[in-house]
Structure 1
């Protein structure tokens, strides 16, 4: 990383790559994504860091190589399925529709209830999808008022939280471990349980679904007893 312009080029390349895979994000979201990748709080901080105004809180090991991003590839990692890409678009749309600054794991789980692979796994684990949708919608509408940005005049401004991004990274790794060529919604469902403090996970536990239940079905095809 030599200058500010290279960071912007990386953001542009990341945005183009996601667009090619059906996940459209705004320019500001791509900039924030690069900042997240470098372990920096936001784009303004990263830009200041590059200009030598502040010290960057990241390590060399955490830095993605410009070559890998410019090439638009994620080596040895499976790609998102078309169904999962639509699910991620729905999650972002849930945030945008409510003028939320961030798209959280709760928005993601709500979108997963309509994902063919994730909803199949939830059904196999005894989840009442209608009840879960209502519970998540109520939480998103009533308990996330602090992230509403009333001054927003255009859509596309809601950006994934760090937890959301961690879930997606784990989902890629999980699909790879299973030998899959694509990441699907059920991979996301299995790994979302790692965010133990997330209200989304508490909602799943409230439906008597556990990480073990999810893994048993997705990895071994075992239905939860009594379903």
Structure 2
């Protein structure tokens, strides 16, 4: 069964089918009709979604080959898929060449699993959102592409990719069937020099706090993780 990533092929099929019935439409019109069928405003919006989805697939660690003694590769939860697309969208919208951990953490604020961990660790999400937005807008000017350059080509930084690999490993260690934003919040602290991690530390959140919450279900209380 086809999905939105087959949109161009579907538009071609639609155009040919209408032509067989004496109805002639242009290529652009067929693309717009397919976009409407998927419930989005126009073809440009759908095309951006397709590009983001492709980069999300590229962001995932390569699936391991199944053997009789190795479990099947984990799935990414739908919520985390959307979070990755949101992070890519933040850099695309600003015409930035790279999607960084700061873009990712900003997207994780609206991820139900990740935000639950941050709130349990006493993080003020509104303050974190403002700090990250200011950093991305003001400190990442060097990675903005020149005016007139095409957008949609943002790449993941090495730190981003390392976090994704550790995230999957943590989920596997926990015996989960899906990788979620909660796993990200445990492993992101390994990137000690990251401005994203520094902003979590500024709110007194630590890797231990996150691990207590995710692995033991214990929320941080009175400035420290409960014993």
**Mapped pair 1:178 → 2:208:** no
- In 1, Cα distance between the equivalents of 2:129 and 2:139? 15
SS in 1 for 2:190: coil
Q: 1:101 to 1:152 in 2, by over 3 A?
A: farther
- In 1, Cα distance between the equivalents of 2:154 and 2:198? 23
Pairwise CA distance, 1:75: 6.5
> Is the contact between residue 77 and residue 173 of structure 1 (CA under 8 Å) also seen in structure 2?
no
RMSD across aligned positions (CA): 2.7
Structure 2, unaligned stretches of length 5 or more? 1-48
Pairwise CA distance, 1:159: 1.1
1:30-74 per-residue CA deviation (whole Å, 9 max, x = no partner) reads: 6xx7xxx9xxxxxxxxxxxxxxxxxxxxxxxxxx89x95xxxxx9
- In 2, Cα distance between the equivalents of 1:121 and 1:190? 9
**Mapped pair 1:105 → 2:135:** no
- In 2, Cα distance between the equivalents of 1:121 and 1:205? 14
Alignment correspondent of 2:123 = 127
- In 1, Cα distance between the equivalents of 2:201 and 2:145? 30
Pairwise CA distance, 1:154: 3.9
- In 2, Cα distance between the equivalents of 1:169 and 1:104? 15
Pairwise CA distance, 1:157: 1.0
- In 1, Cα distance between the equivalents of 2:124 and 2:99? 23
Structure 1, unaligned stretches of length 5 or more? 1-18, 38-63, 69-73
**Number of equivalent positions:** 169
1:151-179 per-residue CA deviation (whole Å, 9 max, x = no partner) reads: 45444211111110110010000000000
Alignment correspondent of 1:167 = 163
1:103-139 per-residue CA deviation (whole Å, 9 max, x = no partner) reads: 0000000000000000000000000000000000000
Q: Which 4+ runs in 1 deviate beyond 3 A?
A: 151-155
Pairing 1:11-50 to 2, within 5 Å after superposition: 23-25=53-55
- In 1, Cα distance between the equivalents of 2:85 and 2:182? 16
- In 1, Cα distance between the equivalents of 2:170 and 2:154? 26
- In 2, Cα distance between the equivalents of 1:222 and 1:152? 50
> Is the contact between residue 104 and residue 161 of structure 1 (CA under 8 Å) also seen in structure 2?
yes
Pairwise CA distance, 1:150: 2.0
- In 2, Cα distance between the equivalents of 1:201 and 1:172? 19
SS in 1 for 2:222: coil
Q: 1:226 to 1:93 in 2, by over 3 A?
A: same
* TM-score (structure 2 length as normaliser): 0.68
- In 1, Cα distance between the equivalents of 2:158 and 2:203? 25
Alignment correspondent of 2:43 = none
1:139 to 135, 138, 156: 135
